[in-house]
Amino acid sequence: MSKPLRITAVKGMNDILPPESARWEWLEAVVRRAMAAHAFRNVRTPIMEHTQLFTRGLGEVTDIVEKEMYSFEDRQDQHGHADHLSLRPENTAGVVRAAAEHNLLYDGGKRLYYMGPMFRRERPQRGRYRQFHQIGAEALGFGGPEVDAELILLAAHLWAELGIRHWRLELNCLGQPDERRGHRAALIAYFEAHQGQLDEDARRRLHSNPLRILDTKNPAMQALVEGAPKLIDHLGEASRAHFQAVQDVLAANGIAFAINPRLVRGLDYYNLTVFEFITEHLGAQGTLCGGGRYDYLIEQIGGKPAPAVGWALGVERVLELLKEEGVAVPDPVPDAYAVIPDAGGVPQAMRCLRALRARGVAVQMHAGGEAGLGSMKSQFKKADGSGARFALIFGADEVAAGEVTVKALRDGAGAQARRPLADPATWADSLKSPA
């Protein structure tokens, strides 16, 4: 006999089920409030884009483009043409593409945010998945350092709203392309002088993208990277002033930060300010949020040149940190559970539940099986298990009298009372949990 077929989820891609999903919804609600408080508007772009958007936008010589993208060739159309498509590994390129395509910046800058799944073919481990979720904020069309600072303050505001305390902020300034060219030459000279200590990745990137070597995760190369020439020493007046202005805002707002000259971020599109929010409480995958300025990305993918700055945070990591920090996230429970001792009461009960729900009461309806609704005892057990504060009992007597019995299931929820079915408006609010 052949083994029954058992289809599982794709490796590195998770189902998010209750009660865990309630934590996701709570986090998303906090984020929406925070974004609204900063006047950021929601944007939703497709999870699939032309592969070229990422090869051009992120840079050919990046981990993502070199080895992590889910790319495929679409079916041919009637002219024999097939698109090269990729699942998005990040969403800044997509947002920028959308802004350019729809001329979103015609009347000035835009502050945007998104939430959604991203896809990278990495080795799955704690805090690293193949489908993971990012929340991102992007401010397009603004060149001033105050917007860099605003983005950083937005992230710090989010940590506060979520109740996350164990984070630190690292900053760096990547300067402008001409300043980077000077640094690049110095870097190549330095690494050439230490050829023997380079790993394979580094040797390959030495001439194509030496800056990327600084982003290495290879412990054997840390000392070498530590001693490499620093970009900060190649910055001109304007870049320094921009960086200083960002720092001044942070300092005035009591946001502690450390300047990390080795912070280069994994993507090619950044310039000037880059930053990461890091925690020591999640092991190796400690980067919660990363971002920076990307003033050249829009024109890089064919849009009208415009400055921009943004960040993305990893939802799985933030949720994991919330657990580590013991932040209590409310698990949604219904206000009331409908106990229906006799099937004859079902139509009346459901009329009543509908009226209560329309008034904002969360009610869980008892559901039976083939054999009927079950005993009062078993229904009350379910009512208790639901976490509801009240049972609504639609007994034959009650229903005949045009009433329902409201019984407290939790201490402090009040005495048992009969309520009129015809007039739910007069008592619906008494079932709601105090906010």
Q: Site residues (CB under 6 A) for ligand ATP?
A: 90, 120, 122, 127-129, 132, 134, 266, 285, 287-290, 312-314, 316-317
What does the block give as tokens for 435? Answer: 């906010």
Task: Say how far apart CA 222 and CA 199 lie, in whole Å.
Answer: 11
CB 172 within 8 A of CB 264: yes
Name which of 288 and 338 has its Cβ closer to ligand ATP. 288
The residue number whose beta carbon is nearest to ligand ATP equals 314
CB of 176 to ligand ATP, least distance (A): 21
Burial of residue 382, with CB atoms counted within 10 A of its CB: 0-12 exposed, 13-18 middle, 19 or more buried: middle
| Torsion, CA 43, CA 48, CA 52, CA 55, rounded to 10 | 80
- Nearest distance from residue 291's CB to ligand ATP, in Å? 7
What's the DSSP call for residue 184? Answer: H
Which contacts qualify for 229-233: CB closer than 8 Å, 24 or more apart? 229/183, 229/186, 229/187, 229/190, 230/183, 230/261, 231/172, 231/173, 231/174, 231/175, 231/179, 231/180, 231/183, 231/261, 232/172, 232/173, 232/259, 232/261, 233/183
CB-nearer residue toward ligand ATP: 212 or 234: 212
Least distance CB 130 / ligand ATP (angstroms): 7
For residue 359, the minimal CB distance to ligand ATP (Å) is 41
Q: How far is the CB of 25 from ligand ATP (least distance, A)?
A: 19
H or E element: which one contains 178?
helix 177-193
Closest approach of ligand ATP to the CB of residue 255, in Å: 18
Phi, psi for 173 (deg, rounded to 5) = -120, 120
Which CB atom, from 287 or from 364, has the smaller least distance to ligand ATP?
287
* Half-sphere exposure for 120 (CA within 13 Å, toward CB): 23
Residue 56 beta carbon to ligand ATP: minimum distance, rounded to whole angstroms: 17
Please identify, using beta-carbon distances, which residue of 120 and 366 lies nearer to ligand ATP.
120
Q: Counting beta carbons within 10 angstroms of the beta carbon of residue 206, is it exposed (0 to 12), middle (13 to 18) or buried (19 or more)?
A: middle
Identity of the residue, 26 or 132, whose beta carbon is nearer to ligand ATP in the bound complex: 132
- To ligand ATP, the closest distance from the beta carbon of 114 in angstroms equals 12
CA distances from 275 to 127, 128, 156, 191, 193 (A): 19, 20, 12, 25, 30
In the bound state with ligand ATP, the residue whose beta carbon lies nearer, of 164 and 313, is: 313
Q: Which is nearer to ligand ATP, 194 or 323 (CB)?
A: 323
Nearer to ligand ATP, 140 or 391 (CB): 140
Q: What's the closest the beta carbon of residue 166 comes to ligand ATP, in angstroms?
A: 15
Largest CA distance in the chain: 93
CB within 8 A of 23, min separation 6: which ones?
A: 319, 322, 329
Nearest distance, CB of residue 391 and ligand ATP, angstroms? 42
In single-letter form, the type of residue at position 393 comes to I
Which residue, 266 or 374, is less far from ligand ATP as judged by CB?
266
Q: What angle do CA 15, 53, 200 make, to 5 degrees?
A: 80
d(CA 334, CA 402): 24
Shortest reach from residue 351's CB to ligand ATP, in Å: 47
Query: Please, which contacts does 28-33 make with residues 24 or more away whose CB atoms are closer than 8 Å?
Result: 28/115, 28/135, 30/158, 30/161, 30/162, 31/113, 31/115, 31/135, 31/158, 33/161
271-278 vs 287-293, strand pairing mode: antiparallel
Cα separation, 127 vs 262, in Å, equals 23
Which residue, 69 or 388, has its beta carbon nearer to ligand ATP? 69
Among residues 145 and 286, whose Cβ is nearest to ligand ATP? 286
